[in-house]
Amino acid sequence: MKWSFKQHSVIPGFSLALGFTVLYLSLVVLIPLSTIFIKTAGLSWVQFWETISSPRVLASFRLSFGASFIAALVNTLFGLLVAWVLVRYRFPGKGLVDALVDLPFALPTAVGGIALTTIYAENGLLGSLLARVGIKAAFTPLGIVIALTFIGLPFVVRTVQPVLQELDAEMEEASACLGATRLQTFCRVILPTLLPALLTGFALAFARALGEYGSVVFISGNMPMKTEILPLMIMTKLEQFDFAGATAIAVVMLVASFVFLLLINLLQWWSARREA
Amino acid sequence: MSIQVQHITKQFGDFAALDGINLEIPTGELVALLGPSGSGKTTLLRIIAGLETADGGNILFHGSDATTQSVRERNIGFVFQHYALFRHMTVFENIAFGLRVRPRKLRPPKQEIADRVHELLRLVQLEGLAKRYPAQLSGGQRQRVALARALAVEPTVLLLDEPFGALDAQVRVELRRWLRRLHDELKITGVFVTHDQEEALEVADRVVVMNRGRIEQVGTPTEVYDQPASPFVYNFLGNVNLFHGRVHDGKIEIDSAAHAGVTVGDRDTAATVGYVRAHDLDVDRVAKDVSSMAAVVRHIHAVGSSVRIDLTLQVSNEPAEAQISRERHEELSLSVGEQVFVTPRRVKFFGDYQI
């Protein structure tokens, strides 16, 4: 039998559609990203290493990865709670709450950043309350975590919600019939079913937080060695016309993003294999 | 363990799902709750299980009140229509679940759990599938895993909600006979819900026929089939002909044929309905007696162990269905359009009743 790419279909246009897809992805994604590697290749290994291991860059690596991790963790916990409330309970204004979840998606991130800074600044609405107990939110790593939590919330909620919706209520009833307590039912029956979705949501929120710029630069204060995030480091290098240095940091972030994409796909493959 | 249901009521909004149900299920019996959808049978089962709370009334297990007990405390085995297996667990883990969630003091040691699971797998004839996930099993296999899982905790009562409803016809028949044998072996008190009269009559020791939140009749399969207590039961169990007639001079007239010996009081010219099972209707070329009615053959279904004949009564134009043996059919050699006489062997009259 002759092997062929083409499969019989009632809708024609396989060659045209595939050709356009490849061209489109190349123009929009592949070519711009590959220039980062080409530009970085202008540096020698030593220069590359020096750029990414300078104390200031290292500090921002730690900050960006650390804050993103904490924010994604917080989002996983509270995103699950929000999704649970939205799926399991009926209450007035539910539609509004559901829509609110998407707000961080829709809002220009700079608007979010300014709003958060205003509220969490020492003379702001929440900032003044926090200041009273001795916590400084704006212009500290805590502020960065808050901003990253804000922009990452929809990811966990929107990945967990459909899975929770499809969760068979009978499975919980079966668990109770077999003598499991509510906590046991949650930990042994519900959580394992939600785990792939939770991990996917976590990875998405983490990846998004890593690259976030707009909402963070206002609340972080951008103090060298203290509150400079990675995207800001790239901006700074660019402003100093250190293009190779900027792309070196970009390469590291790009590789990190790839690793995360790979992890997400592995997760989905793993959970699909078990339930297929 | 016996189950007593006392004055159970349940309301869903304006709809009375259960309207004062009283029922007693003796120890060791397998009882079927039979009725059309919306009759309240599943609600009753779920209230017995404790998955649903009743608005009023009591549930007694072995004489002691269990109404306020939670599902966990009732120690029942429940089998769901769509299996409700834990998808992320293997067959082994599914069956072991009930033993593993026990408080540490009551939890059997690991080896004992494994032995028990393998014993149950043997019982449900699924040895060798312990490591599979539910998604890798067929419908019939999944339902047997669900049954093994329910039995693992050694429940005092086994409750099954339309256990064969989601299976295809052949597997269903096979599995229900197997369930009957299993019950004879284990002798556990069991209640199962079904809307399939054939299933209820074949499997159960006793059948509870339900309609609109009430119990219409309780009896052995033979009792409910041969002596239906109401037109509803007559209708729901088996093929039945409805003949509309009137009471005239104390006698019932259907299609101008008199039904001697049957009187329904003194309400002259009152309407009545006669119920005749398809296999209680004789077909002849000549009128046998005064109760014979002229009819025209419309269609003959000659597939299966008996022959079904669709007819139309000549006077009232009402449709009728007769079921005769193959031998009788060969003897008569009827053809479509022919005029015949039908004579009911057994008629049961109920007052003017509309289904």
Whether B82 and A170 lie within 8 Å, measured CB to CB: yes
As a whole number, the mean pLDDT across chain A is 88
Residue type, A92: P
Q: How confident is the model at residue B272 (pLDDT cuts 50, 70, 90)?
A: confident
Average pLDDT over residues A244-258: 88
- The predicted pLDDT at position B45 comes to 95
In this predicted model, which residue has the larger pLDDT, A4 or A75? Answer: A75
**Predicted model pTM:** 0.79
The model's pLDDT over B92-130, given as tens digits with 9 standing for 90+, comes to 999 999 999 999 888 999 999 999 999 999 988 898 899
Judging contacts by C-beta atoms under 8 Å, the chain A residues touching residue B78 are 173-174, 177
A272 touching B (Cβ < 8 Å): no
Whether B352 shows a pLDDT value over 60: the answer reads: no
In a mutational test of the B interface, the residue from A177, A187, A274 whose CB has the highest number of chain B CBs within 10 Å is A177
Least CB-CB distance to B71: which of A170, A177, A276? A177
Cα→Cα distances A218→A63, A190, A231, A249, Å? 16, 39, 13, 21
Q: Note whether B49 contacts A177, CB cutoff 8 Å.
A: yes
Model pLDDT for residues B63-79, shown as the tens digit of each residue: 888 888 888 888 899 99
Q: What is the DSSP letter of B55?
A: S
State mean pLDDT over B328-350. Answer: 86
Q: Report pLDDT for B255.
A: 65
pLDDT tens digits, residue range B236-260? Answer: 887 888 887 776 665 667 766 666 5
State whether residue A176 sits within 8 Å of chain B by CB. Answer: yes
Residue A80 is predicted with a pLDDT of 95
Judge: A174–B153 Cβ closer than 8 Å, yes or no.
no
- Is residue A2 over pLDDT 80? no
B30: pLDDT strictly greater than 90: yes
Question: Given pLDDT bands bounded at 50, 70 and 90, which one contains residue B29?
Answer: very high
Residues of A in contact with B51 (CB under 8 A): 173, 176-177
Nearest CA in chain B to A179: B72
Query: Taking an 8 Å Cβ-Cβ cutoff, which residues of chain B contact chain A?
Result: 49, 51, 70-72, 75-78, 80, 82, 84-88, 97-98, 101-102, 133, 135, 146, 149-150, 152-153
pLDDT higher than 60, residue B268: no
CB atoms within 10 A of CB B194: 24
H or E stretch covering B143? helix B139-152
Say if residues A87 and A94 touch (Cβ distance below 8 Å). no
Residue B246 belongs to what H/E stretch? strand B240-248
How confident is the prediction for chain B on average, in pLDDT? 87
Q: Of A267 and A63, which is predicted with more confidence?
A: A63
pLDDT confidence bin for A6, thresholds 50/70/90: low
pLDDT, average across residues A267-274 = 76
The pLDDT assigned to B79 comes to: 94
Q: pLDDT digits over B176-195, tens only?
A: 898 899 899 888 999 999 99
- What is the average pLDDT across A170-191? 92
pLDDT value, residue A3: 64
The gap from C-alpha A15 to its chain's centroid, in whole angstroms, comes to 35
Q: Which residue of A has its CA nearest to B49?
A: A177
Amino acid at B6: Q
pLDDT at position A82 is 94
Sign of the CA dihedral with A69 first, then A74, A77, and A79 last: negative
Share of chain B above pLDDT 90, in %: 44
* Residue A25 identity: L
The Cα B94–Cα B85 span in angstroms is 7
CATH superfamily, region A55-275: MetI-like (1.10.3720.10)
In this prediction, residue A52 has a pLDDT band, given cuts at 50, 70 and 90, of: confident
Burial of B208 (0-12, 13-18, 19+ CB in 10 A): buried
Contact B51 A174 (CB under 8 A): no
Query: pLDDT digits over B135-178, tens only?
Result: 999 988 999 999 999 999 999 899 999 988 888 888 888 888 98
CB atoms within 10 A of CB B92: 18
In 3-state terms, what secondary structure has residue B130? coil
Q: What is the mean pLDDT of residues A145-163?
A: 93
Nearest CA distance, B245 vs chain A (angstrom): 49
Chain B hits for A176, Cβ within 8 Å: 51, 70-72
The answer, yes or no, to whether residue B47 has pLDDT greater than 90, is: yes
Report the distance separating Cα A262 and Cα A245, nearest Å.
Answer: 26
For chain B, percent of residues with pLDDT exceeding 70: 92
Contacts of A274 in chain B (CB under 8 A): 87-88, 133, 135
